[in-house]
Amino acid sequence: MYNIKFFFVIATVSIAFLNNLSAQNLYPDLNDSSNGITNGYGSWGANNYTRETSVDYANKGTITFYHPNGAATQKPTIFFINGWGRNVESYDKNLKYIASLGYSVVDIYNLNPGNIQESYANSLFMIQEAANLYTDWINTSKIGLMGHSYGAGSTIWLGKEVFSNLNWGKDGRFIMMLAPWFTLLVDDNDLKNYPSDVKLLVLQSYDDFTDQGNAIYATDPRATRAMYQLISIPNSDKDFITIKSDKDPNHTYEFEYNGTTNTYSYEANHQLSYTGSVSGGYRPYDALDVYSTNRLVQAMTDYVFKGDNNAATVALGNGSMAQKDMGIMPELEVTDTYITIRPESDFNYKCNSGWNDFADNSQVWFLENYCEDANNDGTIDTLSSNDYSVSDFSIYPIPSSNYLNIRLRNEIEIVNEILILEQSGKIVKKIKTPNTYKIDISNLTSGIYFIKINTQQHHRVQKFIKS
């Protein structure tokens, strides 16, 4: 009996000791170049790698090329577009990791990301320049586009150009968006005509729009959702993923910077996979970055470039446990119908905001009409048959030529806005807090339209004909 008690005490103490060390053992400080994940998806590859001297382009930006060591051989290639004002050093550990897997990697740094139209074109220019400079290394038939923040937002437009117009990636192509900041310069037709064989992962940081007391970094996730639900990629080949912070006080690590050691927890903030120093408020690159991004990058490349179907259950598992598993950290949240938590008014960068280019004030946000989800079911509002109800209001005359009159069934309802939409769903007229229910439609061309009434209680749509 004594021996059993003694064994039980030792086992209990050992388990407690191991629990206290579990975070350290599973998630060592990655700033000392340790692996973080010692085997399986996310662990470092077997290839040593070289980072070539960066190439500068006046008034455009810089490209930096990474590749595995050895004789020059065309490799599947990932183009990584940096966040706003963040140079190659900001993502160096990520880029080296991808090269260690045996791929060519091109980092794209823009000098002027504020001018959206110009900087997107500059990114495309530098992508093509890299392919010309490193012809022996870059295989344009197998292409991945990745980006962080501003760079993530640019990948959708770049994909339209690279995949459709240049016909790159015909033997395998994917897009991975890390903490995306808007998706600009594409409209609904671009997305509906997108190559359907592209694989897509959206990785958003939970703290961007929930845990912060303000919205310093927060881009309204409705913006990315609009793109995600309109793009012509089947749900089986795309996932919308939310990464959550590890709030367990036992799961922390220490990092020394400029002689000062600080203790950090694993926070899913906007610096997702950002490998910059802690100066300027940026946090060290840690195990949460590795588990949430490197693991999925390796699985995605194995699936898209090598045809490994087992990897598909990790990269595009549609919520499979193999995809969601984050060890002792909170599981990833995976969905195709993302439901927002915070109201649009909480965001610095709102979805329904009439987005303009900073440089020339030209309109560049074409998906503004797809931000609404009035019943908060995770699907952007569309003109489905379920919306066509005459129970709350009537319109006359039909057909109408100059004015459309609205009569509410319930006169005490407060109308928030009235929308006139084309059959495609594009909003052609918007009236906020109307003081009259006589709507001028004289400037519309003849055809079929819908009028949508949003009140505090309902949103109802009816069809009408403009004569």
pLDDT level of residue 13 (50, 70, 90 thresholds): very low
Break the chain into its structural domains and give their ranges. Answer: 21-346, 382-466
Instruction: Look at domain 382-466 and name its CATH class.
Output: mainly beta
Query: What's the pLDDT tens digit per position in 69-81?
Result: 999 999 999 999 9
Q: What pLDDT, on the 0 to 100 scale, is given for residue 282?
A: 62
pTM listed for this prediction: 0.76
pLDDT at 460 over 60: yes
The 3-class SS string of the chain reads CHHHHHHHHHHHHHHHHHHHHHHHHHCCCHHHCCCCCCCCCCCCCCCCEEECCCEEECCCEEEEEEEECCCCCCEEEEEEECCCCCCHHHHHHHHHHHHHCCCEEEEEEECCCCCHHHHHHHHHHHHHHHHHHCCCCEEEEEEEEEEECHHHHHHHHHHHHHHHHCCCCCCCEEEEEECCCCCCCCCHHHHHCCCCCCEEEEEEEHHHCCCCCCCCCCECHHHHHHHHHHCCCCHHHEEEEEECCECCCCCEEEEEECCEEEEEEECCCCCCCCCCCCHHHCCCCCHHHHHHHHHHHHHHHHHHHHCCHHHHHHHCCCCCHHHHCCCCCCCCEEECCCCCCCCHHHCCECCCCCCECCCCCCECCCCHHHCCCCCCCCCCCCCCHHHECCCCEEEECCCECCEEEEEECCCCCCEEEEEEEECCCCEEEEEECCCCCEEECCCCCCEEEEEEEEECCCEEEEEEEEC
pLDDT of residue 448: 77
pLDDT tens digits, residue range 244-260?
A: 888 888 888 777 777 77
pLDDT tens digits, 350-380 = 777 656 666 666 656 677 777 777 666 677 7
Asked if residue 22 has pLDDT above 60, the reply is: no
**Per-residue model confidence (pLDDT) at position 141:** 98
pLDDT in tens, 191-228: 989 999 999 999 988 766 555 555 455 678 888 888 99
Least confident of 23-32, 118-127, 312-321, 441-450: 23-32
Percent of the chain with pLDDT over 90: 37
pLDDT at position 310 over 90: yes
- CATH architecture of residue range(s) 21-346: 3-Layer(aba) Sandwich (3.40)
